[in-house]
Structure 1
């Protein structure tokens, strides 16, 4: 396990298979683009955060981009959602 820090947040990095990381990244892209309806930056940030924690450098960049359009409250909500997802998966 590796400990990484992104945007001031410490993450435990666990190497995952490429398909899982790609799936998390794709979910973030779908949420950011509104593929399933309206654009949801909170959901996008959550998925990008999870993919970044698994080593996706693309996800780090996308998460940074969407966070520039979000309030601190929205970012905190996205981070909570990512932690909740991790507690189940």
Structure 2
């Protein structure tokens, strides 16, 4: 899989410009690890949700692992954000 150095770029624009489950999966992993972005489990869960919706089923396992480390309110927030993103895109 190709890697892209996003640096200070808008990472949500990065993923939506590629519009593939694999790109959203990579974005979720970036947020989960704090790689090139600030660590954010809610954002990571959000992007992994989008990845699954876009057909990257490998993201489902990572999303479940991540959810185990999050509070119920964090998971709810991530689900809301994913629904909003998918509604708008």
> TM-score range, shorter-chain basis?
0.7 to 0.9
Give ranges in structure 1 of 5+ residues lacking alignment.
1-18
Aligned length: 72
Aligned mates of 2:80, 2:63 — CA distance in 1: 15
Q: What does residue 56 of structure 1 align with? A: 56
Aligned to 2:80: 80
Where does residue 68 of structure 1 map in the other structure? 68
Between Structure 1 and Structure 2, which shows a larger proportion of strand residues? Answer: 1
* Cα distance in structure 2, aligned partners of 1:57 and 1:83: 17
* Alpha-carbon separation, structure 2, partners of 1:49 and 1:37: 18
TM-score by length of structure 1 reads 0.74
TM alignment of 1:18-37, pairs within 5 A: 20-37=20-37
Unaligned runs of 5+ in 2: 1-18
In 2, the alpha carbon distance for the partners of 1:21 and 1:37 equals 19
**Larger helix proportion of the pair:** 2
Deviation at 1:53, TM superposition (A): 1.4
SS of 2:20's partner is helix
After superposition, residues 6-45 of structure 1 pair within 5 angstroms as 20-45=20-45
2: distance between equivalents of 1:74 and 1:56?
Answer: 22
